[in-house]
Amino acid sequence: MTQDDDLAEVIGEFLVESGEGLDALDQAFVELEHDPTDVGNLAFVFRTIHSIKGASGFLGFQNLEKVTHSAENLLSQLRDATLLLTPEITTVLLLAVDAVRQMLLNIEQSGSDGDADHTELIRSMESLSHRPQSTTEPGVQVPGLDGRKHDGPTVHLPENAEAEVSRTSQGATQKEGVPVVPDNSSDEELSDDESKSVGELLVEAGRVKPEEVQLALEAQLAGDPRHVGEILVERGVLDSSDVVEALNTQRKEAGPTVNNSTIRIDVALIDRLMNLVGELVLARNQVLQFTANQPDSALVETTQRLNLITTELQAGVMKTRMQPIGNVWSKFPRVVRDLSLSVGKRIRLHMEGAETELDKTIIEAVKDPLTHLVRNAIDHGIELPEARAALGKPTEGTLSLRAFHEGGHVNIEISDDGSGIDVERIKAKAVSSGLISADQAAKLSERDASALIFLPGLTTATAVTNISGRGVGMDVVKTNIEKIGGVMDIHTVKGIGTTFRIKIPLTLAIIPALIVTTADNRYLIPQVNLVELVRLEADQVQSSIEKIHNSPVVRLRDRLLPLVDLADVLKTPKKTKVLLSAQDGEEEDFDSNLKPINIVVLQADDNQFGLIVDEVLDTEEIVVKPMGRQIKNIPAFAGATIMGDGRVALIIDVMGLAQESGVIAQSRDRSAGEAHTTTLEEMVATQPMLVLGVGSASRAAIPLSAVDRLEEFAKDIIETTGGKDVVQYRGSILPLAYVSQILNLPSSRDDVDTLEVVVHTSNGSSVGIVCDSIVDIIDETINLQATDSRPGVTGVAVIDGRVTDVLDVDFIADSVRLSGPSRSRSYAAVAS
Amino acid sequence: MSIPTQNQYCTFYVADHLFGVGVGEIQEVIRYQDVTHVPLAAHSVEGLINLRGQIVTAIDLRRQLALPERPADTLPLNVVVRTEDGPVSLLVDEIGDVVDIDESTWEATPPTVGGRIGDLVQGVYKLQNELLLVLATDRAVDVGASASI
């Protein structure tokens, strides 16, 4: 029983370590293609394969052992420089690596290395070797004294063999700091990456003279394929038991430094720790808030310590989850090599900042988007060598990956020096696919036009290849990046190249956020999106806020910043009324101008916009908690958290908010990839409706999109013109239409001094629709039924469990409008 | 609609109707909690509550069942039910007893019961003095697509 457990554990370690080794191999091979004589890389590749072979022999995985043995044979010749690495050999060796990976997967899943037939692969490896296979059977070799790694093509034996032996063995130390093989399997010939070479140890122990070791090394250099130990034993200068002893010593010496400095931890455990730390941070926040008003100094002091310790603990646990982005990148050299060969291009991959660390969950999340971008660059970006030559570019294209930290975020850039994106072609494509209209296309800036590639259903590839070009992809890439709180943009110059920039947070678990309030509710804005805070004092408001058509803007350092009122977007009543949707040319005579305005400047995609909030409070470290499915698809919110006082607060999704408020294009189609056109019927059927109370019990509804503002007017300001009731509203005349009259019902507000008015704006002019009460906003799928034609009523539906008349807003507006329509409103699908 | 297989029901009142949910589906019943309202959410969503560090959506059963609004001076209670998606709180007026029911008293919801109640009630147990409406919790916590404009 325990033996089985032990074995399972050994196999588990073997799998993990072999997997790590294999990942590094892909890259090593690609580098080797550039420099086939790189001794260090050859030694590393050899060692990795060698280790897997040794362990697989010990663990009884024969298929695995056969493949690795053949690969090792081929590699030993490469290392000995009796064979030069050709692309052909690389391909075969990579195939062998794939086969090994497949077998490791098999072992993981079924415990056996599978019964796939690798004879073809083994044969091709053998045929590439000059020499016949080593006569020594795998797994039964004498424990080897590996001096062989010294004799790469450029290494000359020094006079003092002892010094040479120790020097080169250092260079062979594993990158990752983990032993390549599990301890239990090391009875095999596995001595490569230890701190002191066996030859050295033997000399130290007085078992053999340095000259003998040197002779053996020379013999190896002359082509003897065996290990130093084997040679020495054969010559009779050494007993094989001495070799075994030296191997054991070597392992003991190397063991502690490697094994004691790192341990392996289940990711699930770290995730749990992270969750607990998150809870602790929240509890700490609560304790801090609670003790702020306590007079007891001992308590306050203890709380301060708790605060510090929690912060450090948090940092520590976060660090355990950090991984270099190179872990994801390591597979790209292989991807680039394979793909560029298959499409007949020559591409050099340049990577910079591979050591940049990111949270593990983020690393996982960016893996696919990055791969997609890399594939795209190879397939569409970089041109064929002939085309490049014709353009005077180097025939070899360059694909660069760059990662760096910047202000609590990680930036990743993927750039190619290829053809760039033909913006005109994108526009044409977008128009022909019906994604935007020709008018819109003509108005787009270069930058916005290149951002069109993020729209679902758009591809610029003239032909669909098996790599990319099906038009599903870039939108998904962008959505995935945004899902982890990242932002992405594209910069492309035709003929020069394309750069994608991705900015992502370091971690998802705990983020700093700014607390703001509107209508007495707290909301959190992740700092990743925060640019700056602007406060307009009361006397500045009038002069600073200007309007373009309906949109308020503020001049911020000579640039126009569109303004959005948080309360407007969230449709919550507001404390400070800043009438943002005022009409052109209106007097700004509302009382809000007397109050200061807080503007939070936010970044969404390429756009900045100002969010008007009531108050800006503080920043706090928050833990993003998921919300139930009932509310998680509200675009304006990214999640929720628990505040210091124990109450829940919502976290704003700045991208979602920007889209909701029209700051940026509604390009994120939730059902990505599907073209979707909304018909008028559908709009009515699925649109949120504003439900109005009419008379004592009747209800009417207006599509929320037709609602501009809700107002309450005193009855005594009503004036009449041409038999129509009007009020003076924000500098112009607002005609009033009474729902009770349209529906032919008595009003229940005859005895009240105020009017509830829904302001509707279309064709550039507004009308006020007077009802008795504003009931609610209802968002449910409604089944609209036609009625006998009653003017002003579109139909009847059951809304919120009540029979409700759905009003024909356009008809009502036209019936009371004072003048004809002035201009038509255009609904742009893409923001300009 | 199949006959529910549970025979112990946690009961509660919503606008004078007696509803029941199988005890197995109930996580806990707690008194009124501070609710954070969620703008733009569906009408039935009252908001979010902090349930010992977990954020739970609270659904007002009166609105979900299209029953009249709760009088402003009364506070609802939270009946926290387990769903595939984690716990969800149902806001109810009053908590009743846990009742053992007799399988033979089950009847399907009469077809004349329309509207939201007809949709959300699986069936009826005829108790001695009143009717126990068995709530379909999966439908009771489904508020449809949230607002998006």
Is the pLDDT score of B79 beyond 90?
Answer: yes
Residue A122 in contact with residue A30, Cβ under 8 Å?
Answer: no
Contact B40 A648 (CB under 8 A): no
Is the pLDDT score of A96 beyond 90?
Answer: no
**pLDDT tens digits, residue range A318-350?**
788 788 888 888 888 888 888 888 888 888 888
Contact A686 B145 (CB under 8 A): yes
DSSP secondary structure string, B119-143?
HHEEEEEE-SSSEEEEE-HHHHT--
Q: How many CB atoms neighbour CB A401 within 10 A? A: 24
What is the distance between the alpha carbons of residues A481 and A488, in angstroms, rounded to a whole number?
7
Phi, psi for residue B34 in degrees, rounded to 5: -60, 130
Number of A to B CB contacts under 8 A, please give it.
109
pLDDT at A158: 39
Smallest CA–CA distance, residue A653 to chain B, in Å, is 13
Mean pLDDT estimate for chain A: 74
**Options 3.30.565.10, 3.60.15.10, 3.30.2230.10, 3.40.1280.10; which CATH number does A324-505 get?**
3.30.565.10
Residue A607 in contact with residue A448, Cβ under 8 Å?
Answer: no
Amino acid identity for residue A800 in this structure: D
In whole angstroms, how far apart are CA A601 and each of A605, A616, B75? 13, 12, 39
Give the one of B40, B86, B144 whose C-beta lies nearest to A570's C-beta.
B40
**pLDDT tens digits, residue range A813-831?**
877 776 544 333 333 333 3
What value does the mean pLDDT take over residues A429-456?
75
Q: Is A516 helix (H, G, I), strand (E, B) or coil?
A: strand
**Interface confidence: ipTM more than 0.90:** no
pLDDT at B80: 94
The helix (run of H) or strand (run of E) holding residue A357 is: strand A357-359
Antiparallel, parallel or unpaired: β A754-762 and A709-714: antiparallel
pLDDT at A4: 64
pLDDT at A253: 55
Contact B43 A572 (CB under 8 A): no
Contact B143 A628 (CB under 8 A): no
As a whole-number percent, the residues of chain B with pLDDT over 70 amount to 92
Contact B43 A646 (CB under 8 A): no
What CATH superfamily is the domain A1-136? HPT domain (1.20.120.160)
What is the distance between the alpha carbons of residues A240 and A633, in angstroms, rounded to a whole number?
70
Q: Where are the domains of chain B?
A: 8-139
DSSP secondary structure string, A631-700?
TTT-TTEEEEEE-TTS-EEEEE-HHHHHHHTTSS-----SSTT------HHHHHHHS-EEEEEETTTEEE
**Which of A174-188, A344-358, B94-108 has the least mean pLDDT?**
A174-188
A777 touches B at CB < 8 Å: yes
Residue of B nearest to A778 (CA): B43
pLDDT at A250: 63
- pLDDT top residue among A15 and A447: A15
What value does the mean pLDDT take over residues A626-639?
81
DSSP secondary structure string, B9-70?
EEEEEETTEEEEEEGGGEEEEE-----B--TTS-TTEEEEEEETTEEEEEEEHHHHTTPPPP
Nearest C-alpha neighbor of A162 from the set A202, A210, A196: A210
A521 touches B at CB < 8 Å: yes
Is the pLDDT score of A663 beyond 80?
Answer: no
Contact B50 A650 (CB under 8 A): no
Residue A747 in contact with residue A738, Cβ under 8 Å?
Answer: yes
Which residues, in sequence order, are bridge partners of residue A534? A599
**Which of A30-44, A287-301, B65-79 has the least mean pLDDT?**
A30-44
Antiparallel, parallel or unpaired: β A497-505 and A510-518: unpaired
Please list, in sequence order, all residues whose beta carbon lies within 8 angstroms of the beta carbon of residue A561, skipping any fewer than 6 positions away: A553, A554, A555, A599, A601, A608, A609, A610
Q: How many CB atoms neighbour CB A680 within 10 A? A: 7
A609 touches B at CB < 8 Å: no
Contact B48 A650 (CB under 8 A): yes
What CATH superfamily is the domain B8-139? CheA-289, Domain 4 (2.40.50.180)
Give the one of A571, A628, A798 whose C-beta lies nearest to B57's C-beta.
A628
What value does the mean pLDDT take over residues A686-695?
78
State in Å, rounded, how far the first CA of chain A is from the last one.
Answer: 69
Contact B50 A636 (CB under 8 A): no
Nearest C-alpha neighbor of B47 from the set B32, B57, B55, B33: B57
A653 touches B at CB < 8 Å: no
DSSP secondary structure string, B68-120?
PPPPTT---EEEEE--TTS-EEEEESEEEEEEE--GGGEEEPPTT--HHHHHH
Domain A267-320 and domain A680-816 have a common topology: no
What CATH superfamily is the domain A680-816? CheA-289, Domain 4 (2.40.50.180)
pLDDT at B59: 93
Give the one of B41, B47, B142 whose C-beta lies nearest to A634's C-beta.
B41
Dig out the tokens for A449 from the structure. 């036009």
In A1-156, alpha helices (H): 2-34, 39-59, 62-79, 87-110, 119-128
Q: Is A88 exposed, middle or buried (0-12, 13-18, 19+ CB in 10 A)?
A: exposed
Nearest C-alpha neighbor of A665 from the set A607, A747, A729: A607
pLDDT at A590: 46
Q: Is A534 helix (H, G, I), strand (E, B) or coil?
A: strand
Residue of A nearest to B117 (CA): A801
State in Å, rounded, how far the first CA of chain B is from the last one.
Answer: 35
What is the distance between the alpha carbons of residues A181 and A310, in angstroms, rounded to a whole number?
38
**pLDDT tens digits, residue range B29-51?**
999 988 999 988 888 899 999 88
What value does the mean pLDDT take over residues A577-592?
43
- Residue B139 with chain A: CB contacts under 8 Å: none
Q: Is A409 helix (H, G, I), strand (E, B) or coil?
A: strand
* CATH 2.40.50.180 at A510-660, yes or no: yes
Give the one of A572, A650, A687 whose C-beta lies nearest to B36's C-beta.
A650
Q: Where are the domains of chain A?
A: 1-136, 141-264, 267-320, 324-505, 510-660, 680-816
Contact B40 A776 (CB under 8 A): no
* CATH 3.30.70 at A267-320, yes or no: no
Smallest CA–CA distance, residue B27 to chain A, in Å, is 16
Q: Is A26 exposed, middle or buried (0-12, 13-18, 19+ CB in 10 A)?
A: buried
